[in-house]
Amino acid sequence: MTESLLDFYRKHQISPVRQDIRDLAVHFGRRSALYRHLGILPTFVRDKTVLEIGPGSGFNSLYTASLQPLRYVLVEANPRGVDDIRNLFAGYPDFAARIEIVPLSAEEYRPGTPFDFVLCEGMLALAGVPDPIPLLETVARNTAPGGLLVITCIDAVSDLSEVLRRFVAQWLIDPSEDLSAHVRRLLPVFSPHLSTLRGMSRQHDDWIVDNLLSPASIGPLLSIPDAITALVDGFDVFGSSPRFLTDWRWYKSIGGESDRFNELATESYWSNVHNLLDYRSLSAPREPGENRALYQTCSALRDSVHHFELSRERGMLSWFLTALTTIEDNVRGFAPETADGIADLREALAQPSFDAESIARASHFGPWFGRGQQYLSFSKRSDLGGGLTPDAGHD
């Protein structure tokens, strides 16, 4: 069984989600843009109740606290994360006065009443749990009727560039060494790649630990269709970042708040999932069957990386190179720059003396990153009634 993200963090006493927020206005600008994509304007949060599950070290929570919610509860089960949140907010006393920190897991937290906004960012996908759907359902139950749920999703296409870097990382490290030795080994390899990302705010060593070394990061995924299917009985897709949703219907022809929004979102996803492959490119929608084939190949390659980590069978490299060729051929027609990046990596791996320096200076592979996490907001249908039943649990 894959080690969970929380167990990994606790074992190493880390919370590898630090961000550079020395320019707080820039940080707040990024968060404001994200919220706008999701259909949330600053005044929508003011005087409302907000629950955030898994805030990490609290960097993103600063912005939400600045929007003046009536109540803002941060549920964080990682002791290091709790300490980091307290230390961070100590520097912003006005914001600190607005938050409540609850050191529990999502499963352990039992609020007496549901919340207007529920946020769960970067935790459901790649959490290292056998099935993320029950965890999603647990989080969603905290949303009040008429309220908004915000989550993040990751799929085999959007995660491909990270998975390929993970394969390289796992090939280069010595599993018998400790985590700090792994980070020292990998920083010179992948820092040049991360430095190409203009909006990169996370520290490079944290990114390496979280994406390339944590066992949870090769665990089960939560794709957009997975999330929609799990929530279909009570929620409707409201917004997304990146914005890929289109709905050309005349508003008078829409019968109600749950009229095909989820179905149309799923259709848009399968027509556009290829655009999650590379953040630098955008192409026209494709036939869904072609994108499903691309997804299946990316998923199979991801499974092979997981198998390599467990077995350390270096003989599987030939299969890996063949899979790279298949994906390269699939994407060259709509994303030649991405295909060049795949070819760059394939040629480096095929060399008899494959080494770290060849990856660090790979001019086409280095700048290629996918559209990683996708954010989705869901509106909870107001016609459901009920919500959470008050009990004597934690509040």
For residue 24, give the CATH number of its domain: 3.40.50.150
Q: Give yes or no: residues 145 and 116 share one domain.
A: yes
Q: Quote the CA–CA distance of 114 and 116 in Å, as a whole number.
A: 7
Q: Quote the CA–CA distance of 135 and 147 in Å, as a whole number.
A: 19
pLDDT at 383: 67
Contacts 24+ apart (CB under 8 A), 332-338: 334/274, 334/281, 334/283, 334/284, 334/286, 335/274, 335/277, 335/278, 335/281, 335/283, 337/278, 337/280, 337/281, 337/364, 337/368, 338/277, 338/278, 338/280, 338/281, 338/368
Locus of tokens 């109540």: 71
pLDDT at 363: 96
Closest CA to 112 of 74, 151, 141: 141
Q: Give yes or no: residues 82 and 184 share one domain.
A: no
pLDDT in tens, the chain (395 residues): 678 999 999 999 999 999 999 999 999 999 999 999 999 999 999 999 999 999 999 999 999 999 999 999 999 999 999 999 999 999 999 999 999 999 999 999 999 899 999 999 999 988 888 899 999 999 999 999 999 999 999 999 999 999 999 999 999 999 999 999 999 999 999 999 999 998 899 999 999 999 999 999 998 999 999 999 999 999 999 999 999 988 888 888 887 767 899 999 999 999 999 999 999 999 999 999 999 999 999 999 999 999 999 999 999 999 999 999 999 999 999 999 999 999 999 999 999 888 899 999 999 999 999 999 999 999 999 865 444 444 434 44
Identify whether 69 is part of a domain.
yes
Q: Give yes or no: residues 115 and 225 share one domain.
A: yes
Q: Give yes or no: residues 147 and 177 share one domain.
A: no
- Domain count for the chain, please give it: 2
Identify whether 87 is part of a domain.
yes
Cβ-contact 325, 340 below 8 angstroms: no
Q: Give yes or no: residues 115 and 178 share one domain.
A: no
Identify whether 390 is part of a domain.
no
Q: Give yes or no: residues 210 and 189 share one domain.
A: yes
Q: Give yes or no: residues 70 and 186 share one domain.
A: no
pLDDT at 247: 87
Q: Quote the CA–CA distance of 178 and 234 in Å, as a whole number.
A: 45
Q: Give yes or no: residues 39 and 112 share one domain.
A: yes
Name beta bridge partners: 154. Answer: 222
Task: Show the domain range for 82.
Answer: 5-156+221-242+374-380
Q: Give yes or no: residues 288 and 327 share one domain.
A: yes
Q: Quote the CA–CA distance of 255 and 253 in Å, as a whole number.
A: 6
Backbone angle region of 194, left / alpha / beta, with phi > 0 → left and psi within -120 to 50 → alpha: alpha
Identify whether 200 is part of a domain.
yes
Identify whether 253 is part of a domain.
no
Using DSSP, state whether 265 is helix, strand or coil: helix
Identify whether 386 is part of a domain.
no
> Around 340, how many Cα atoms within 13 Å sit in the side-chain half-sphere?
11
Q: Quote the CA–CA distance of 323 and 316 in Å, as a whole number.
A: 11
Using DSSP, state whether 210 is helix, strand or coil: helix
Q: Give yes or no: residues 325 and 227 share one domain.
A: no
Q: Give yes or no: residues 29 and 66 share one domain.
A: yes
Identify whether 179 is part of a domain.
yes
Q: Give yes or no: residues 49 and 170 share one domain.
A: no
Identify whether 270 is part of a domain.
no
Q: Quote the CA–CA distance of 111 and 123 in Å, as a whole number.
A: 20
Closest CA to 53 of 64, 42, 45, 66: 64
Across all residues in the chain, what is the average pLDDT?
A: 93
